[in-house]
Chains A and B, each alone.
Chain A
Amino acid sequence: MLARLKSSWSYLAIAALVVALILAPFHWFLGQYTTLMIVIGIYTIVTVGLCLLMGYTGQVSLGQAAFFGMGAYISAILTTTYGVNPWLAMLAAAIMTGAFAYIIGSPIFRLKGNYLAMATLGLGLIIWILFKQLNQSFGEPDGISGIPYLSIGGFVFNSSFRRYFLVWAFCLVILLISQNIVRSRTGRALRAIHGSEAASESIGINVNQFKVKILVLSAVYASIAGSLFAHHVRYVGAQPFDFLASVKLVVMAVIGGLASIWGAIFGAGTTHILSDELLLRFGDWDVVIYGLILVIVMIFMPEGLFVKLKEVFERLRLRYRQRGTEP
């Protein structure tokens, strides 16, 4: 009963969200924030992957920006240097990044907790250094430029208005796919691994295999987001994929409540609205305030702002319903 009611509520919420998203980019609504929302959409895709990996499966990654960057760089290089069709490039990027994740997966998951964090951090940095080399060999010293727009037939995504819909179409599809996964046998297996690896093994869950699979999935998400990023900015440098970028991604995931698919939008959203919009008013002090907010949120809401808000909302509703049912 409660479950059904909950889910019906969440569907309502999702429907509202979708409508809002469709109307958002029109000038009479949130038009002047179109590009900001594109960026949010792109980062949401990466964050969802991270939520699946960290929130559901409980495996830390401090190197996720590397996958994000691989998508961007492979797309950039294939389209500029080799003139490959952008969509093919995006596909190739996803496959290559996924394969890479698969290869590193089994060794890296012999580590747990802090040690896993360290290893992923190290891997991320190595890839980041590699990116700087790619600049030298495929573009200008600090980046690759001249990346074409994406296009379908004659329809070119050459305005932020158009790209907005492209990005969010991708984003919503990925969110739905992820939600389906979470609510499935696979999703339960992932959460089981988070809950207790010993118990998971005992009921026949191949823990390592699932860890690797989910890493690959999150890597593919990140890669797709990276490709979209490359065709949006049309310039790829190493900067957006460094260690702090990986941290930023983790922050988004955590603020979004880690174990919550739709929280990812919230996480990516708040983080970017904060850093690209609100904090700009504070000039040079913005980083200081950003750091402060980060610490405060982590101290009082380790399970994330989104979850907290949802809890409050839930309680209010339940209380209301109880009152309603009282004779």
Chain B
Amino acid sequence: MSSAQFVQYLISGITSGSIYALVGLGFTIIYAVTKIINFAQGEFVMLGGLVSFTLIYRAGIPLVPALFLSILIAAAVGAAMYLLAIRPPKKASVVSLIIITIGVAIFVRGIAGQVLTKEFISLPYFSSEQPIPFLGAHIDTQALWIIGTMVVVTIILHLFLTYTMVGKALKACAINPVASSLVGINPKTMALIAFVLAAAIGGIGGVVFAPLTFMSYQGGIMLGLKGFVAAAIGGFKSPLAAVFGGLLLGIVETFVVAANWGPFTSDYKDAIALVVLLFILLVRSGRLAEEERAG
């Protein structure tokens, strides 16, 4: 392939990768703090897109405030989800918690379809629709927005976790809930914060990529699964790992397409992402066992 093509593939990969990364971040934050795999994560993204669409085209609110408002709404939904569905059950197992999050996902999806819209929606580009030439390839301005947002969110999150009081508390809670509760950190509050954060990040994601990749009330499922794979590749450990997982996933996908193995390539690329996931899980399994013994 020509160098221009190569660059194009890379850009394309990084773009979708950033999307997966943003979803993956949400998975990671919630998992780290609560050990819950939140399968409703994709729905926050969907909400971000659909709510801002509704606000702009139905309520006639100008773009920028609409975007922020919809991010807030997504965050609120996240809070509600935790308070109404995740906190109440007393001795809920891994399985029942997973089912709860899926139940919430189905619920949110249904409501969105009924209340917001069943159409596919797209938002206006944030800036010019004219692509920018770059090393013989072309970059969509919105793609830059997506990548940029992903980077900024990651940095802010990182700073938040390392330098703010709350952030440190979250980290402590993720590493050892028992100990942190002894030093007066309330795990439940931390869990709430985690859900709000994850939901907000999901909302942000939805808002930035609705212009480029259209969204419908059913769009959350597959995005969620991709983000889940990204987070799992990252080991549900650190935000940075999740971002790495997302980018890896996106880039692998595009280059599998570039390699073009016959008519089913696009299916193969999904399969390959999952194979990568399994491989990493199994490789890691040894260390996981050790961790369990230590703990």
Contact = CB atoms under 8 A, between A and B. Distances in A.
Nearest to A255: B99
Nearest to A296: B103
Given A129-B271, A298-B89, A122 B278 contact: yes
Interface string A297-309: 0111010000000
Interface stretch (B145-153, B180-188, B244-252, B284-292): B284-292
Interface in A95-120: 107-108, 110-115, 117-119
The residue in B221, B232, B281 that gathers the most chain A C-beta atoms within 10 A of its C-beta is: B281
A132 B232 contact: no
A200 interface: no
Contact of B100 (A108, A114, A125, A295): A295
Interface stretch (B48-56, B60-68, B106-114, B160-168): B106-114
Interface string B80-100: 000001001111111111111
A84 interface: no
Contacts of A129: 267, 270-271, 274
A126 B267 contact: no
Given A107-B282, A122-B278, A123-B278, A114 B37 contact: yes
B285 A110 contact: yes
The residue in A54, A108, A299 that gathers the most chain B C-beta atoms within 10 A of its C-beta is: A299
B99 A298 contact: yes
Interface in B100-123: 100, 102-111, 113-114
B225 interface: yes
A112 B93 CA distance: 13
Nearest to A137: B264
Nearest to B81: A295
Contacts, number: 134
A157 interface: no
B85 A299 contact: yes
B278 A298 contact: no
Interface residues of A, number: 44
A49 B90 CA distance: 27
Interface in A244-258: 244, 247, 250-251, 254, 258
A117 B110 contact: no
A247 B99 contact: yes
Contacts of B93: 302
Q: Is the interface of B mostly helix, strand, loop or mixed?
A: helix
B232 to A, nearest CB: 5
Interface stretch (A172-180, A226-234, A284-292): A284-292
Interface string B239-277: 000000000000000000000000110010011001101
B282 A290 contact: no
B37 A118 contact: yes
Contact of A294 (B99, B108, B232): B99
Contacts of A136: 263-264
A160 interface: no
Given A112-B292, A129-B270, A243-B225, A288 B94 contact: no
B35 interface: yes
B267 A287 contact: no
A295 B85 contact: yes
Contact of A118 (B95, B110, B281, B289): B281
Given A133-B264, A136-B264, A288-B110, A302 B288 contact: no
5 contacts: A110-B286, A122-B274, A254-B96, A290-B110, A295-B100
- A-B residue pairs, 5 tightest by C-beta: A291-B107, A294-B103, A291-B106, A288-B110, A295-B103
